[in-house]
Structure 1
């Protein structure tokens, strides 16, 4: 609901600031926000009567097709006043989310859309990583996928590494990670320097274990480009600050 409210521009300034701080470290919310952009653009160009029709589609699915045709026509009209763009959009978005839809129409073009799903939490349930993504409903992040399992610790990871204007974005999925412990994500550059890009605590049940089947998802970034990175490593840090490797991705 926070992602939807942010996309529609109805959060107050304090909530916007808190959400954007969260968005900077949560690729799952960022991916969900991206899927909502076409819906928000669609809602911004329709009038009050069409909004009311959208509200009724959750009880009468047949209205959805007629409403979408009206949207295509009304997109060519003058943009509605700001009060409709805010208040009515919230009602209409709730109606659309309730029934789900496979496509929307954009000036006569059919644009495929994903079915609505619940927000993916930071520690997301499910199965172990696979080549196509670590579980049903999982939204694969941007970038090249790398899988690794450490033969000594048994910790498993899937990492997605993507070149960005600011450097490199790293999305991480971890399972078989026991706790309690403190961990960190370290980037090793080809020039023999290293950088800690993220730290976190693992609860007693761990992540992706028999005690706690939920896997851990996290994201981080570095100014280094993908070509400058030699390897990325998850490390465990003891009370004395001594680091122990848990799992390493080195095939970049």
Structure 2
């Protein structure tokens, strides 16, 4: 019984022997308990070794007489397996990238943790530009209501022929009395001013005081008007006139502009 007969166990298990060698090995197997036992232990791994072709087995057979061939064969097999693994890893990574780019975000957003409940997704919000009401082309640029809230009450315009001071005044009747909004221009400075309400019963009330800087208001030096608001407990029907007065260092008041057509 030759040594080659014992070496054919793996080749027989993989089915790579030709018909003549297969018949010869089966005759040997019937009388060799050692090969029979070896063949039985190889059965579980036959599936793993089935990928090895006949040429590889022939090369392995030849290595028993050529150690150098064994080394070259092992190197070639390792290189082939390494290249195969690399190609599989690259293919898998590419598939993951493509799949993740197409559906990963959508799938991840559909379900929560382990409860399988659907997570509501935020929808994109479309922003609508918000614009204010169009400006009134007929508005007076000097009107303090321009570009802001409209003034409340009856509007009165007055210009003093002696001082040249000009005012626009809005007077509104309130439960507590009267509300007064006014704008002053052509008001030189520096000076101290006050707003006085003169009732029809000849009594008066100072409802506001302020200082005017050297450039004044609504002048060539300072074109911005002076705007202010005040209130009085006097009812609108009880008011005869509203007057802006200038007060000197001695406390003497003199009228700058008066609104009397209330």
Alignment: residue pair count: 137
1:230 pairs with one of 240, 256, 259: 240
2:193 to 175, 178, 183: 183
The one-character-per-residue Cα deviations of 1:31-57 (angstroms, maximum 9, x if unpaired) are xxxxxxxxxxxxxxxxxx79x94xxxx
Task: Choose the corresponding residue for 1:207, options 217, 228, 233.
Answer: 217
TM-aligned CA deviation for residue 137 of structure 1: 1.8
Matches within 5 A, 1:93-132: 99-101=129-131, 114=133, 127-128=141-142
**Structure 1 position 218, deviation (Å):** 0.1
CA spacing shift, 1:214–1:139, aligned 2, 3 Å: same
Work out which structure has the larger RCO, using CA pairs closer than 8 Å and 6 or more positions apart in sequence.
1
Residue in structure 2 matching 1:221, options 213, 231, 241: 231
Query: After TM superposition, what 4+ stretches of structure 1 lie above 4 angstroms from structure 2?
Result: none
Instruction: Check 1:226–1:145 CA distance in 2 against 1; reply closer, same or farther (3 A cut).
Output: same
Deviations 1:46-103 (A, max 9, x none): xxx79x94xxxxxxxxx235xxxxxxxxxxxxxxxxxxxxxxxxxxxxxxxxx4335x
The structure 2 residue matched to 1:165, chosen from 175, 190, 194, is 175
Give the aligned partner of residue 64 of structure 1.
127
Q: Is the 8 A contact 1:167 1:224 kept in 2?
A: yes
2: CA distance between counterparts of 1:200 and 1:140? 24
**What's the TM-score once normalised by structure 2's chain length?**
0.49
Structure 2 distance, partners of 1:145, 1:226, is: 13
* C-alpha displacement of 1:165: 1.0
1:192 & 1:140 partners in 2: Cα distance? 32
Structure 1 residue runs of 5 or longer lacking an equivalent are 1-48, 54-62, 66-98, 103-113, 117-125
Report SS of the residue matched to 1:209: coil
**Secondary structure at 1:64 match in 2:** coil
Give TM-score scaled by structure 1 length.
0.50
Q: Which residue of 1 aligns with 2:64?
A: none
List runs of 5+ in structure 2 lacking aligned partners: 1-121
Contact 1:100 1:115 (8 Å CA) reproduced: no
Higher strand residue share: 1
- Max Rg structure: 2
Q: Tell me the residue number matched to 1:146.
A: 156
